[in-house]
Amino acid sequence: MSSQVNDDTKIRRVPTNEELKEFEFIQVLNEDPRTKTANILGKLKSSSEEPKDAILLLEKSHFGNQELPILSKERILQWIATDNNDIYHWYNGLLTKDEKFPDFKVTLIWPATETHIRKYSFQPRFLIRETPHIYETIVKPYIESIPPNRIQWVYNILSKKSESERILLEVEEESTGFILLPDMKWDTVTLENLYLIAIVHRRDIRCIRDLNDSHLPLLKNLRRQILQFVPQKYSGIRSDELRLFVHHLPSYYHFHVHVTHLRNDTIAGGIAIAKAYLLDDIIENLEKFAQDYYKKVTLTYILGENDPLFPQMNDIGARVTVDV
């Protein structure tokens, strides 16, 4: 038992550049021209181990404010003419290499599990109506069956074993405290694409269904601290330009709040109706309508065909139909 615990809590080794160059392509799992992203499955090995499944989440970088003034003189290496018509001229371009202006961002998941592969693969999506009964009999048992080590990376952040240098704000109080840090989807430069995550310290809230009026001090503290801190940290951003929301179903079952700039509307599914629930609305529902509002209400959300919950949801007829 002890060896298993040690294995679950250790910080995994970072692959070297040489190992990354040996990434063996298998297939494209998904791609989105709108967000200029692609998810690629392959194999990656270290010097002493057999190759293991790995996923690369690729995203082309946005032109930053510091880059645009020098774009034509310093950054563009070659203009490749493709066509013209009257005053309009079309080109492709090649950029010089400069570490200050990376061409793309990558998230590596290694070793990747079948769960990761399903999650990041293209899949048909459906609207689901989750009644309180469906939550209690299907969703909640599924959440409780997830091994704790699935979110070990969250506990590593909270204990400052990982990513401590990225923490922007910490409120240490146990019941209302949290850590605020940039989401990996944000380049930390382009303010219009600001994306932060607030992860609460307490471990007894897994999703929006667990919330009741006793959690109002936590929710209000999150709101107040974030709306005060972010405009002070990032000059030019106002509190009324920030969107604070919670996902249901969340991507991991430890309560956290997403913080984005209003102009950041290209998060794939992240701010969509039937996915995102505004923190202000959550507070009002608990405060004015029912102290256990989220235990009583039916929640409608998007569920992918590859999600582990989908077969059961499909079997019981939870998908939205003309009769519902």
Q: Are the CB atoms for 49 and 35 separated by under 8 Å?
A: no
Cα 193 to Cα 69: distance, rounded to the nearest angstrom? 19
- 258 has binding-site annotation: yes
Residue 163 is labelled as binding a ligand: yes
* Residue 301 labeled ligand binder: no
Residue 238 and residue 232: Cα distance in Å, rounded? 9
Q: How far apart are CA 230 and CA 237, in angstroms?
A: 7
Q: Is 215 marked within a binding site?
A: no
- Concatenate the DSSP letters of all residues of 195-230 into one string: EEEEEES-SS--SGGG--GGGHHHHHHHHHHHHHHH
In order of 184, 196, 203, 311, the CA distances from 169 in angstroms are 16, 11, 19, 40
158 in a labelled binding site? no
CA–CA separation, 279 and 216 (whole Å)? 11
From the list 62, 89, 116, 256, the catalytic residue is: 256
Q: CA-CA distances (angstroms) from residue 162 to 58, 157, 198?
A: 22, 5, 15
Find out whether 299 is annotated in a ligand binding site: no
Establish whether 256 is an annotated binding residue: yes
Q: Where are the beta strands (DSSP E) in 96-219?
A: 104-109, 125-130, 169-171, 178-182, 195-200
Q: Is 256 annotated in the active site?
A: yes
Contact 173, 195 (CB under 8 A): no
Q: Is 247 helix (H, G, I), strand (E, B) or coil?
A: strand
User: What is the greatest pairwise CA distance in the chain?
Assistant: 74
Residues tagged in the binding site annotation for substrate: 153, 163, 183, 185, 247-258
Residues involved in catalysis: 256
- Known binding residues: 153, 163, 183, 185, 247-258
